[in-house]
Amino acid sequence: MTITRQGPEAVRALQELEDGRSSVRLRSALAVGTTPDPRFVDKLIERCATEPEFFVRDMLTWALTRHPVSVTLPALLREVRSERAQARSQALHTLSKIGDPQAWPAITRALLSDADDEVARSAWRAAVVLVPEGEEAALAAVLATQLGRGERDTQLSLSRALVALGEVIVPALRSATTAPDPRRRTHALATQRLLRDPDARFESAIEEAKRTVALGGSGREGQ
């Protein structure tokens, strides 16, 4: 990786991260990532916390991944404790892209159950990437406590995170299929279906699970 001095073009790129036009901000983030400099990192992270456009945020994350982990990691670990939900979410998303195992201790139970759905979803994805070998079952148990929360996109994110962990999720899902909350049971059954058949559509799995729950079943009869 080439680290360049912060010349006039770099200074202008950093300034353009604040431009009112999203196309200019996108171009600026690309330029900053193309010529990485550790002095860019704080500005990139600061912008991640407020940037309204998804594609620009994604480019900001890419730009951060182009910088040395020794610089980005400490700053991102501080950011996951931010009071601003978008700051936490984007920091977690970036950690998942960097994939450095040193970030694992920062993926706390509080983040995995964050009240903000976007933060929780980012934490779930990051956790699946960063979880150390041998701790997958413990992670599955924590993730299973979130079954039934949120709307379709949130539930799909959780199901995908769980399925990515593999067969270790089976005991946690089996327990959730007998939970008092019908939404939790439904989501657990749908996730079981996705584990068995990765090609199944989530909507179909949910509808099938709803029918099972409505009939008073837990889905365990067929296991």
Asked whether residue 124 falls in the same domain as residue 23, the answer is yes
pLDDT tens by residue, 142-154: 999 999 999 999 9
In a domain, 145, yes or no: yes
Handedness of CA 117, 118, 122, 123 (dihedral sign): negative
For residue 193, give its domain range: 135-223
Asked whether residue 139 falls in the same domain as residue 103, the answer is no
Asked whether residue 120 falls in the same domain as residue 16, the answer is yes
In a domain, 154, yes or no: yes
Asked whether residue 207 falls in the same domain as residue 181, the answer is yes
Q: Over pLDDT 90: what percentage of the chain? A: 75
In a domain, 28, yes or no: yes
Interhelix angle for 136-144 vs 117-130, to 10°?
A: 160
Each residue's pLDDT tens digit in the chain (223 positions)?
333 445 566 677 788 898 889 999 999 999 899 989 898 999 999 999 999 999 999 999 999 999 999 999 999 999 999 999 999 999 999 999 999 999 999 999 999 999 999 999 999 999 999 999 999 999 999 999 999 999 999 999 999 999 999 999 999 999 999 989 999 999 999 999 999 998 888 888 888 898 988 887 555 544 4
- The per-residue pLDDT for 6 is 52
In a domain, 211, yes or no: yes
User: What pTM did the predictor assign?
Assistant: 0.88
Q: How many domains does the chain have?
A: 2
Q: Tell me the three state secondary structure of residue 17.
A: coil
Torsion angle (degrees, nearest 10) of CA 160, 104, 93, 192: 10
Rounded to a whole number of angstroms, the CA Rg of the chain reads 20
pLDDT tens by residue, 166-179: 999 999 999 999 98
Q: Residue 220 carries which DSSP code?
A: G
H-assigned helices in 99-219: 109-112, 117-130, 136-144, 152-165, 170-176, 182-196, 202-214
Asked whether residue 12 falls in the same domain as residue 69, the answer is yes
Asked whether residue 37 falls in the same domain as residue 70, the answer is yes
Q: Tell me the three state secondary structure of residue 148.
A: coil
Does residue 80 contact residue 88 with C-beta atoms inside 8 Å? yes
Does residue 143 contact residue 112 with C-beta atoms inside 8 Å? yes
Asked whether residue 92 falls in the same domain as residue 63, the answer is yes
In a domain, 1, yes or no: no
Of 103, 130, 157, the one marking the end of a domain is 130
